[in-house]
Structure 1
């Protein structure tokens, strides 16, 4: 234990953050629940020591972002790492037309990942092949984009808001709010500020590319802040420099599944790996006197143990 939500700084990889946490907490057992690109900032959820066993249950958590999408230029990396590979003039943008394009990208989607990604094909990382001048045929993947909301249209990234505060609907521009640091822009390009809620495996860089395609112009992701992963919100994250002393959440607090309270007999059966009869349907956390017993899947007749915890 514990599970710690860190505010990842700009220009660090997720692995950099894991390495620094290992050194700060004097342990090799540190993992994360979902990569955040070096040019993105915000919520990166870390699992420390025994809590690394929870990673498998949190990798599928939905995520919220603020995304700055620059129109009129695309790059080989789909973000500001570049270089620029296509430019075009951008017609006057109508907010309604952008909202229609966003609606078309919402819901179940088939999304092609970026060439510069950690996806493996035939034992090769896509980014390694791309950096060597090659290209891998990356098939489209099924992703879920729950919501896309246009927060504003601006003449450039530099003119778009940089100060935000949390609201019941997510983080929103606020003059007296928190300042976010974005990568150096690639020029004066019309920019869309978007609030996104997406499922696991969604690439916001690919979303920026696809939004540009829907609008008929090249595009790239000019900035990205992850504001939520599952129950972990940006306003409650720990600065990386404070990770050594962070309390975080214990295993039971970190799991978001509904709970089933067991008696001694049921708890023992689950810890023995048995499949006791039970009418529950779906995934549950099973507890006994407030202590974590197991994560189970119910089919309406029996409970199947996914992971059990010793007494």
Structure 2
């Protein structure tokens, strides 16, 4: 029951990726653990067969992104998707853009660390009155989703440039540097998110890093490259809009790479077309909960939905003697357990 992390291609929707993965994996039972917009790339965790039941547990994990924020131009979608009507764009005065500095952007970015609410984009999948917000927005209907709870874990401005052409378009693990006087080589995979911690990436134009092509229309716009880690449900497009607002100029998200989703790092991802041959990840290791190991008798009881006394203090993954995921449970009243999800068959990579 595998977990397949892939590097989502630019321009493909998460639905497109799932449809392609169904053909490559030879099964209809494929889902994902957290949507990525078409104009974003990076970590998209695909789940197949019984692993699809993990989606609500993995989707709730924190996400880390590299965001290219362009100042001076606001778009209806808050990203680089061109509007049908040029009049829908908002532009900043040249003198306002000339006043932008890296220090000013960094100061404004730090103010997000205390925020607890965010207004989502009108072009989002949030439902209002039974209708997806983006569907109403594309029909030209005035719609603004209400603010929702969010959390910013970290925000760091990695680079700023008055012109897009001066901004680094790639990145590599922070602690990776080629030897002095030598040509750049491949990035050390041991320096990825497995143990690397927060802010594990830095700008790099070296071939060993990873590139990202910004839209050519941004040539004259000031841009910032920002590392941002957020709780589930936080829109980075809204972050770009709100960062510009704090600086007194319109802004939009010019590029986005998800470099981490929960415990899955970009270094763990395979290209989409290689998903069927890539080694899947251990689902138990990816869960954001502690594990409790069961003997055969207890594992059988759990899979039958019977009550077992485990002395839990929080949500826990229950694993049988062979290392297979049997259930995810929560503590209930009087020492009883509440089953959040049970797997009748063992789930291993």
1:261 to 282, 293, 303: 293
Q: How does 1:213-292 map to 2 (within 5 A)?
A: 213-289=245-321, 290-292=323-325
Q: Tell me the distance in 2 between the aligned counterparts of 1:201 and 1:219.
A: 21
Asked if structure 1 preserves the Cα contact closer than 8 Å seen for 2:121 and 2:144, the reply is no
1:307 to 317, 338, 341: 341
1:151 to 138, 151, 158: 158
Structure 1 gap ranges (5+) = none
Asked if structure 1 preserves the Cα contact closer than 8 Å seen for 2:262 and 2:286, the reply is no
Per the alignment, do residues 282 and 107 of structure 1 end up closer, same or farther by CA in structure 2, a change over 3 Å counting? farther
Q: 1:104 — aligned with what?
A: 111
| Count of residues in correspondence between the two structures | 311
2:147 to 131, 136, 140: 140
TM-score with structure 1 setting the length? 0.94
Asked if structure 2 preserves the Cα contact closer than 8 Å seen for 1:227 and 1:233, the reply is yes
Q: Tell me the distance in 1 between the aligned counterparts of 2:210 and 2:342.
A: 43
TM-score with structure 2 setting the length? 0.84
| Residue 86 in structure 1 maps to residue 119 in structure 2 | no
Q: Tell me the distance in 1 between the aligned counterparts of 2:58 and 2:51.
A: 11
Asked if structure 1 preserves the Cα contact closer than 8 Å seen for 2:173 and 2:209, the reply is no
Whichever structure has more strand as a proportion of its residues is: 1
Per the alignment, do residues 277 and 59 of structure 1 end up closer, same or farther by CA in structure 2, a change over 3 Å counting? same
How much does 1:136 deviate?
Answer: 1.9
Could you give the per-residue CA deviations for residues 25-49 of structure 1, whole angstroms, max 9, x where no partner exists? 1111110111101111111000011
How much does 1:299 deviate?
Answer: 5.3
Per mean C-alpha deviation after superposition, the further-off stretch among 157-166 and 144-153 is: 157-166
Q: 2:210 — aligned with what?
A: 179
Q: Tell me the distance in 1 between the aligned counterparts of 2:130 and 2:214.
A: 31
Q: Tell me the distance in 2 between the aligned counterparts of 1:205 and 1:50.
A: 32
Structure 2 SS opposite 1:282: coil
Could you give the per-residue CA deviations for residues 254-277 of structure 1, whole angstroms, max 9, x where no partner exists? 323211122344333322323433
Root-mean-square deviation (CA, aligned residues, Å) is 1.8
Per mean C-alpha deviation after superposition, the further-off stretch among 49-58 and 101-110 is: 101-110
| Residue 298 in structure 1 maps to residue 331 in structure 2 | yes
Could you give the per-residue CA deviations for residues 228-262 of structure 1, whole angstroms, max 9, x where no partner exists? 11111111210011112223124324323211122
Q: How does 1:190-201 map to 2 (within 5 A)?
A: 190-201=222-233
Q: 2:239 — aligned with what?
A: 207
Per mean C-alpha deviation after superposition, the further-off stretch among 5-14 and 115-124 is: 115-124
Q: Tell me the distance in 1 between the aligned counterparts of 2:266 and 2:302.
A: 35
Asked if structure 1 preserves the Cα contact closer than 8 Å seen for 2:68 and 2:253, the reply is yes
Structure 2 gap ranges (5+) = 175-195
How much does 1:208 deviate?
Answer: 0.2
Q: 2:181 — aligned with what?
A: none
Q: Tell me the distance in 2 between the aligned counterparts of 1:194 and 1:55.
A: 28
Q: Tell me the distance in 2 between the aligned counterparts of 1:286 and 1:153.
A: 47
Could you give the per-residue CA deviations for residues 214-235 of structure 1, whole angstroms, max 9, x where no partner exists? 1111100111111011111111
| Residue 125 in structure 1 maps to residue 155 in structure 2 | no
| Residue 31 in structure 1 maps to residue 23 in structure 2 | no
Q: Tell me the distance in 2 between the aligned counterparts of 1:157 and 1:41.
A: 19
Per the alignment, do residues 102 and 63 of structure 1 end up closer, same or farther by CA in structure 2, a change over 3 Å counting? same
Q: 1:162 — aligned with what?
A: 169
Structure 2 SS opposite 1:138: coil
Q: 1:115 — aligned with what?
A: 122
| Residue 73 in structure 1 maps to residue 73 in structure 2 | yes
Q: 1:57 — aligned with what?
A: 57
